[in-house]
């Protein structure tokens, strides 16, 4: 929609009573991102340069979240909940400076896409004064029906008010609407509350616009992307639809998912072509995986970058700040946090590497840990390129191993190790002949005395 300005109003004041939660409804998450965050992202991608979010009273956490997602957004409070049109008018200061397109959406429809928002905007650009997004469904019960004549939307009829013939209509209201900027405020202000609940409903704008001789049309989205969320069950169902969408996208971009239904994505997971993901892998927020990498079964990744042709897992955990260079390996039961691996570096078994850098082609033996926390502060461990750390070693940070350093198995390293040096940090082995039998005999006698 080049050269057309856009103001979007997101209605997010609902308490979510049926969620049975103290958290505002739109702050519950799909794919690791709050519901309202998905809507804001779609609007940004659709070119909406002005976003206003209508919140309820005493929702500082929601306002904080909105400003984190979109620093230029504005929040407005709907003090009394008197219907959807009343909620939209809570953003009156924004409407006093209308854009070419004014969109009104709900904060609990996280699967709406930028492409669908774009269809609403295109209809406005083509001359419509009011656009309603609808969807076809085989189960229309409970939805408002979109009644059209000769390509014109003439009314939105709620289930309880519909005739038998109107109830056969399967084209239903999503609740998402677009107004031509020149008409938006006047149409919203014309909506009255002469109904049983005494509330102001956005849907009344359709008949008001028609009475004014304005052009009113409906465009189509899908039932899945326009679904709203009011209960935990609906939240779970929406999560399943979101995951199915992400899995399809991964497959379509050239990734291999060995068991797609067992792979869980976050809203911002990025997989390059030719990535292979095995069974039961979870991607938390902030993960990027480069081409040719293989994520093996039962691994969990969050806030991590995986380089080309890396192998992760099985049963590996990458925590925030893990950055793995090309062809590096993080194997079974290895945890990496806030650490970088150079090209070809390896930690194949049973290790914790935190607050560290591991140089290229270094090898970390099984059971090695970097002791990064002293109870008060975090410290870093630096392991130079081509180093070898033997199994069951403990590197007490801050400590540095030079390039080509060698740490003997079972060592506790507290001092720096210079380039190409070997470090031993363990007690000398002592063997006492016959001592094991003496100990067993003494313990057995003690046990027998108590029986």
pLDDT, tens digit, 9 for 90 and up, residues 49-101: 999 999 999 899 999 999 999 999 999 999 988 999 999 999 999 999 879 99
Average pLDDT over residues 219-238: 95
**Residue 450 in domain:** no
Asked whether the beta carbons of 6 and 100 are under 8 A apart, the reply is yes
Average pLDDT over residues 116-139: 96
Structure tokens at 205: 């704008």
Domain range for 139 is: 6-221
State whether 181 and 272 are in the same domain: no
CB-count burial class (<10 Å; 0-12, 13-18, 19+) for 309? middle
Which residues are tagged catalytic? Answer: 349
pLDDT, tens digit, 9 for 90 and up, residues 255-288: 999 999 999 999 999 999 999 999 999 999 999 9
**Residue 405 in domain:** yes
Check residue 366 and report its DSSP letter: T
Residue 116 belongs to a domain with what CATH number?
3.90.550.10
State whether 205 and 113 are in the same domain: yes
State whether 55 and 139 are in the same domain: yes
Q: In this model, does residue 181 exceed pLDDT 90?
A: yes
Q: 198 pairs with which residues across the strands?
A: none
State whether 282 and 352 are in the same domain: yes
State whether 14 and 160 are in the same domain: yes
Residue where a domain stops, chosen among 202, 221, 240: 221
State whether 121 and 263 are in the same domain: no
Average pLDDT over residues 19-27: 93
The whole-angstrom separation of Cα 182 and Cα 423 is 77
Torsional sign, CA 189, 193, 198, 204: negative
221 pLDDT band, cuts 50/70/90, is very high
State whether 71 and 216 are in the same domain: yes
Residue 356 belongs to a domain with what CATH number?
2.160.10.10
Q: Return the percentage of the chain with pLDDT > 70, whole number.
A: 100
* Binding-site annotation, residues: 11-14, 25, 78, 83-84, 108, 144, 158, 173, 230, 319, 337, 352, 363, 366, 372-373, 391, 409, 426
1 pLDDT band, cuts 50/70/90, is low
**Residue 135 in domain:** yes
The whole-angstrom separation of Cα 332 and Cα 314 is 5
**Residue 234 in domain:** no
Range with the poorest average pLDDT among 113-117, 292-296, 335-339, 436-440: 436-440
Residue where a domain stops, chosen among 221, 237, 263: 221
**Residue 399 in domain:** yes
Structure tokens at 80: 């009394």
State whether 162 and 263 are in the same domain: no
* Binding-site annotation, residues for Mg(2+): 108, 230
The whole-angstrom separation of Cα 231 and Cα 229 is 6
Domain count, the chain: 2
State whether 352 and 419 are in the same domain: yes
**Residue 441 in domain:** no
**Residue 300 in domain:** yes
State whether 170 and 258 are in the same domain: no
| Predicted pLDDT at 394 | 97
State whether 272 and 197 are in the same domain: no
State whether 399 and 308 are in the same domain: yes
**Residue 249 in domain:** no
Residue where a domain stops, chosen among 176, 197, 221: 221
2 pLDDT band, cuts 50/70/90, is low
Torsional sign, CA 193, 55, 7, 90: positive
């Amino acid at each position: 929609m080049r050269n057309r300005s856009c103001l979007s109003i997101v209605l997010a004041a609902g308490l979510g009573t049926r969620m049975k939660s103290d958290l505002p409804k739109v702050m519950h998450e799909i794919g690791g991102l709050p519901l309202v965050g998905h809507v804001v992202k779609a609007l940004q991608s659709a070119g909406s340069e002005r976003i206003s979010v209508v919140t309820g009273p005493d929702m500082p956490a929601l306002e904080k979240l909105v400003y984190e997602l979109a620093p230029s957004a504005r929040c407005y409070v709907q003090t009394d909940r008197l219907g959807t049109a009343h909620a939209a008018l809570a953003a009156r200061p924004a409407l006093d400076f209308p854009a070419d397109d004014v969109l009104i959406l709900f904060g609990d429809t996280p699967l709406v896409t930028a492409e669908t928002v774009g269809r609403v905007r295109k209809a406005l650009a083509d001359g419509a004064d009011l656009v309603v997004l609808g969807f076809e469904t085989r189960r229309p019960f409970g939805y408002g029906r979109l009644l059209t004549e000769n390509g014109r939307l003439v009314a939105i009829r709620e289930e309880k008010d519909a005739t038998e013939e109107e109830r056969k209509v399967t084209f239903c209201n999503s609740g998402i609407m677009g107004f031509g900027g020149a008409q938006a405020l006047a149409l919203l202000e014309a909506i009255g509350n002469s109904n049983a609940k005494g509330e102001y409903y956005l849907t009344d704008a359709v008949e008001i616009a028609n009475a004014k001789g304005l052009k009113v049309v409906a465009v189509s989205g899908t039932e899945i992307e326009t679904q709203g969320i009011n209960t935990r069950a609906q939240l779970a169902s929406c999560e399943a639809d979101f995951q199915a969408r992400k899995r399809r996208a991964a497959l379509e971009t050239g990734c291999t998912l060995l068991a797609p239904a067992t792979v869980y994505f976050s809203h911002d997971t990025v997989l390059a072509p030719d990535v292979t993901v095995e069974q039961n892998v979870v991607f938390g927020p902030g993960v990027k995986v480069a081409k040719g990498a293989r994520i093996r079964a039962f691994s969990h990744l969050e806030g991590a970058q995986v380089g080309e042709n890396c192998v992760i897992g099985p049963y590996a955990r990458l925590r925030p700040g893990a950055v793995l260079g090309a062809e590096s390996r993080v194997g079974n039961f290895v945890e990496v946090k806030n650490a970088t691996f150079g090209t070809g570096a390896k930690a194949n078994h049973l290790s914790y590497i935190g607050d560290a850098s591991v140089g290229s082609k270094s090898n970390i033996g099984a059971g090695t840990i970097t002791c990064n926390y002293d109870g008060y502060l975090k410290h870093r461990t630096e392991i130079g390129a081509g180093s070898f750390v033997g199994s069951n070693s403990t590197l007490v940070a801050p400590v540095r191993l030079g390039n080509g350093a060698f740490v003997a198995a079972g060592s506790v390293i507290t001092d720096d190790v210079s380039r190409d040096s070997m470090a031993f940090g363990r007690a000398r082995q002592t063997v006492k002949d016959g001592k094991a039998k003496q100990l067993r005999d003494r313990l057995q006698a003690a046990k027998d005395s108590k029986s």
